[in-house]
Amino acid sequence: MTSAKLDVSTQELRAPSLAPSLAAAVRHGLLLIFAAIILLPFAWMILAAVKDPSDIFSDPFSLDPAKLRAVENFSKALTAAPMGLFMLNSLIVVVGVLSVQLITSVAAAYALAQLKFRGQTLLFGLVLFALCIPVQVPALPMYIALAKLGLLNSYFALMFPWFFSAFAIFLFRQHFRTYPQEIINAARIDGFTEIEIVLRLIVPSALPAIAAFSVFSVTAHWNDLYWPLIVVNVTEKMTAPLGLLNFQSAEGVSYGPLMAAATIITSPLVCVFLLARRYFVEGVTMTGVK
Amino acid sequence: MTSLPTCGTCRPARAVPDKLRGVNAAYLFALPAVALIAIVVLAPIAVVILLSFSNYSLGATDWSLVGIGNYAQLVHDRSFLNALSNTALYVSVVVSMSVLLGLLLAILVHGTGRLRRLYEVIFFLPVASTLVALGLVWKFMLHSRIGPINELIAALGLQRIDFFNNPSIAIFALAAIGVWHLVGFNMILFLAGLTGIPRDLYQAAAIDGADGFWDRLFRVTWPMLGPTTIFVTITSTITAFQVFDTVAVITHGGPAGSTDVILYQLYQASFQYFETGYASALTVVFLIIMMAISAVQIFAARGVHYS
d(CA A202, CA A186): 14
pLDDT score at A15 = 44
Kindly tell me if the per-residue pLDDT of A92 is higher than 70: yes
Distance from CA of A4 to the nearest CA of B (A): 15
Q: Quick check: B26 and A111 CB within 8 A?
A: yes
Domain ranges of chain B: 1-51, 69-306
Q: How confident is the model at residue B16 (pLDDT cuts 50, 70, 90)?
A: very low
Whole-number average pLDDT of chain B: 85
User: Could you tell me which chain A residue has the CA closest to the CA of B186?
Assistant: A284
pLDDT score at A147 = 92
Q: Quick check: B33 and A133 CB within 8 A?
A: no
Q: Quick check: A222 and B267 CB within 8 A?
A: no
Give the range among A83-97, A147-161, B207-221, B251-265 with minimum mean pLDDT. B207-221
Average pLDDT over residues B262-273: 92
Kindly tell me if the per-residue pLDDT of A221 is higher than 70: yes
Average pLDDT over residues B198-210: 81
Kindly tell me if the per-residue pLDDT of B13 is higher than 60: no
Residue that wins the pLDDT comparison between A25 and B19: A25
Contact residues on chain B for A219, CB-CB shorter than 8 A = 127-128
Phi, psi of A63, deg, nearest 5: -120, 50
Kindly tell me if the per-residue pLDDT of A66 is higher than 90: no
Contact residues on chain B for A31, CB-CB shorter than 8 A = 105, 108-109, 112, 119
Picking from A220, A273, A170, A290, the residue whose alpha carbon sits closest to that of residue B189 is A290
Assign A205 to helix, strand or coil: helix
pLDDT score at B307 = 34
Written as one letter, the residue type at A30 is L
Report CA A169 to chain centroid distance, whole Å: 18
pLDDT score at A58 = 67
Q: Does B267 touch chain A (CB under 8 A)?
A: yes
Residues 109-148 of A with CB under 8 A from B: 110-112, 115-117, 120, 123, 126-127, 129-134, 136-144, 147
Say which DSSP state A135 is in: T
Comparing CB atoms, the residue among B235, B276, B291 nearest residue A140 is B276
Distance from CA of B4 to the nearest CA of A (A): 15
Residue B151: partners with Cβ closer than 8 Å, 6 or more residues away: A57
Kindly tell me if the per-residue pLDDT of B237 is higher than 80: yes
Residues 79-98 of A with CB under 8 A from B: none
Counting other chains too, the contacts that B89-94 makes at CB distance below 8 Å and 24 or more residues apart are B89/B171, B89/B175, B90/B171, B90/B174, B90/B175, B90/B178, B90/B240, B90/B243, B90/B261, B91/B237, B91/B240, B91/B241, B93/B172, B93/B175, B93/B178, B93/B179, B94/B175, B94/B178, B94/B179, B94/B182, B94/B236, B94/B240, B94/B243
Residue that wins the pLDDT comparison between B151 and A94: A94
User: Could you tell me which chain A residue has the CA closest to the CA of B32?
Assistant: A104
Q: How confident is the model at residue B5 (pLDDT cuts 50, 70, 90)?
A: very low
Cβ atoms of A148 and B58 closer than 8 Å: no
User: Could you tell me which chain A residue has the CA closest to the CA of B15?
Assistant: A189
pLDDT score at A62 = 67
Q: Does A11 touch chain B (CB under 8 A)?
A: no
d(CA A214, CA A100): 12
Kindly tell me if the per-residue pLDDT of B214 is higher than 50: yes
pLDDT score at B303 = 58
Kindly tell me if the per-residue pLDDT of B2 is higher than 50: no
Picking from A40, A283, A35, A276, the residue whose alpha carbon sits closest to that of residue B185 is A283
> First CA to last CA across chain A, in angstroms?
53
Phi, psi of A51, deg, nearest 5: -115, 165
pLDDT, one tens digit per residue, over B160-184 is 888 999 999 999 999 999 999 999 9
Comparing CB atoms, the residue among B28, B45, B133 nearest residue A262 is B133
d(CA A196, CA A184): 10
Q: Does B249 touch chain A (CB under 8 A)?
A: yes
CA distances from B173 to B164, B178, B247 (A): 7, 9, 11
Distance from CA of A182 to the nearest CA of B (A): 14
pLDDT score at A213 = 92
Distance from CA of A180 to the nearest CA of B (A): 16
pLDDT, one tens digit per residue, over A130-170 is 988 998 999 999 999 999 999 999 999 999 999 999 999 99
d(CA A123, CA B41): 13
DSSP chain B: ----TT-TT-HHHHHHHHHHHHHHHHHHHHHHHHHHHIIIIIHHHHHHHHHTTB---TT-S---B-TTHHHHHHHH-HHHHHHHHHHHHHHHHHHHHHHHHHHHHHHHHHT-GGGHHHHHHHHHHHHHS-HHHHHHHHHHHT-TTT-HHHHHHHHTTPPP--TTT-TTTHHHHHHHHHHHHHHHHHHHHHHHHHHTS-HHHHHHHHHTT--SHHHHIIIIIHHHTHHHHHHHHHHHHHHHHT--HHIIIIITT-STTTT--HHHHHHHHHHTS--HHHHHHHHHHHHHHHHHHHHHHHHHHHHHHH-
pTM, whole model, 2 decimals? 0.87
Residues 15-54 of B with CB under 8 A from A: 18, 21-23, 25-30, 32-34, 36-37, 40-45, 47-48, 51
d(CA B224, CA B231): 13
Whole-number average pLDDT of chain A: 86
Q: How confident is the model at residue A13 (pLDDT cuts 50, 70, 90)?
A: very low
Contact residues on chain B for A127, CB-CB shorter than 8 A = 33, 37
pLDDT, one tens digit per residue, over B20-62 is 554 578 888 999 999 999 999 999 999 999 999 988 887 777 7
Residues 53-82 of A with CB under 8 A from B: 57, 60
pLDDT score at A64 = 67
- Which residues are bridge partners to A68 per DSSP? A51
pLDDT score at B206 = 81
Residue A137: partners with Cβ closer than 8 Å, 6 or more residues away: B44, B45, B48, B283, B286, B287, B290
pLDDT score at B1 = 38
Residue that wins the pLDDT comparison between A112 and A69: A112
Cβ atoms of A257 and A274 closer than 8 Å: no
d(CA B146, CA B153): 12
Q: How confident is the model at residue B273 (pLDDT cuts 50, 70, 90)?
A: confident
Residue that wins the pLDDT comparison between B101 and B16: B101
pLDDT score at A151 = 94
Phi, psi of A20, deg, nearest 5: -60, -40
d(CA A251, CA A126): 47
Q: Quick check: A108 and B33 CB within 8 A?
A: yes
pLDDT score at B11 = 43
Kindly tell me if the per-residue pLDDT of A16 is higher than 70: no
Average pLDDT over residues B140-168: 88
User: Could you tell me which chain B residue has the CA closest to the CA of A166?
Assistant: B37
Contact residues on chain A for B192, CB-CB shorter than 8 A = 285, 288
Q: Quick check: B130 and A266 CB within 8 A?
A: yes
User: For testing the chain A interface, which of B132, B143, B231, B272 should be mutated: the one with the most A CBs within 10 Å?
Assistant: B132
Q: Quick check: A133 and B132 CB within 8 A?
A: no
Instruction: Report the CATH fold assignment for B69-306.
Output: MetI-like fold (1.10.3720)
Q: Which of B8-12, B201-205, B208-212 has the highest mean pLDDT?
A: B201-205
Q: How confident is the model at residue B119 (pLDDT cuts 50, 70, 90)?
A: very high
Assign A226 to helix, strand or coil: helix
Give the range among A225-234, A280-289, B81-90, B104-113 with minimum mean pLDDT. A280-289
Average pLDDT over residues B208-222: 79
User: Could you tell me which chain B residue has the CA closest to the CA of A262?
Assistant: B133
d(CA A220, CA A213): 10
d(CA B217, CA B194): 11
Is A74-287 CATH 2.60.40.10? no
pLDDT score at A10 = 41
Cβ atoms of A198 and A104 closer than 8 Å: no
Domain ranges of chain A: 2-73, 74-287
Opening angle at CA B125, ends B298 and A95, nearest 5: 75
What percentage of chain A's residues is helix, strand, coil (to nearest 5)? 80, 0, 20
pLDDT, one tens digit per residue, over A45-62 is 998 888 877 777 666 666
User: Could you tell me which chain A residue has the CA closest to the CA of B36?
Assistant: A164
pLDDT score at B90 = 97
